[in-house]
A and B are shown apart, each in its own frame.
Chain A
Amino acid sequence: DAGVTQSPTHLIKTRGQQVTLRCSPKSGHDTVSWYQQALGQGPQFIFQYYEEEERQRGNFPDRFSGHQFPNYSSELNVNALLLGDSALYLCASSPSSPRGTQYFGPGTRLLVL
């Protein structure tokens, strides 16, 4: 099991563009959470997907949206990119039981110019 995988590893975009990040969960996990980690900060929760629906959402604008597929993989979409969206985006997967341990992927580093 490769664990949680994310693609791409790095991405450079310009302001106003749109970006899609992808995540494949650890085998046996059906819940996917996304976090944004700005430089020098801890990860901040964006949203969580379970059974192809957004289950919980953090304090992020609607420009941030997501999707979960039947195979439990997930996408994070960010529209109308701002310079402040530059960060490491982390995906974490966990089993559906509440408070299941979250396992993190290596992240996608997004730079917005």
Chain B
Amino acid sequence: AQRVTQPEKLLSVFKGAPVELKCNYSYSGSPELFWYVQYSRQRLQLLLRHISRESIKGFTADLNKGETSFHLKKPFAQEEDSAMYYCALTGYSTLTFGKGTMLLVSP
């Protein structure tokens, strides 16, 4: 069975501080990993996917197959980063989501 675990419900940091949102997964094959973000009163949207290996809004995530992790990182948090972040994986065509981590960036 495939599973995504996000151990933190809430992560609170100050503006300018580094951010790391944790994500661990369980999957028997070769999954594709994603981070989705939901800003207040907006729809769920894709932030980044591991195969594209790009940085979006300063966020990066590296797939670590040995540790089965896909942590989301940003060196300097901004207030506009405050949102709900979901890690997700797909084996073929459907998504399995974690429960999400609320990131709160204070001034």
Contact = CB atoms under 8 A, between A and B. Distances in A.
A108 to B, nearest CB: 12
Nearest to B41: A106
Interface string A87-113: 000101010001111111111000000
Interface string B41-57: 00111100100000000
Given A43-B44, A43-B86, A48-B93, A99 B100 contact: no
A98 B93 CA distance: 5
Nearest to B92: A98
Tell me the interface secondary structure of chain B in the complex: strand
Tier of interface size on chain B: 20 to 34
A45 B99 contact: no
Interface residues of A, number: 27
Contacts of A48: 93-94
Contact of B46 (A33, A35, A55, A101): A101
Nearest to B100: A42
A4 B99 CA distance: 23
A7 interface: no
7 contacts: A42-B4, A42-B97, A45-B94, A55-B93, A94-B93, A104-B36, A107-B43
